[in-house]
Amino acid sequence: MTGEQAAWLTKNKPYRAVGRPGGNSHYVKVGILHADGTFELKPRVGRPRVTPGCFEVGILEVVERNRQ
């Protein structure tokens, strides 16, 4: 991770590197964080621009399930 990426993640706290979510969670607002610290939201159709050193980030959202 570059210094620019670390600074972006610090400023945009709910974002984190995308990993394997738990059973009752999923990622929203997913995009690519480039090595220069710029963020690009994934388009609904097509592929995002992939550059050396980039990785996928998103906001982990927990889904509450009704228990009966």
The Cα 15–Cα 21 span in angstroms is 14
Q: Using 50, 70 and 90 to split pLDDT, how confident is the model at 67?
A: low
pLDDT at 66 over 80: no
* 46-63 pLDDT, tens digit each: 888 899 999 999 999 998
Pairing of strands 25-33, 55-62: antiparallel
40 phi and psi angles, rounded to 5 deg: -130, 115
The Cα 25–Cα 49 span in angstroms is 26
* 19-47 pLDDT, tens digit each: 998 889 999 999 999 999 999 999 888 88
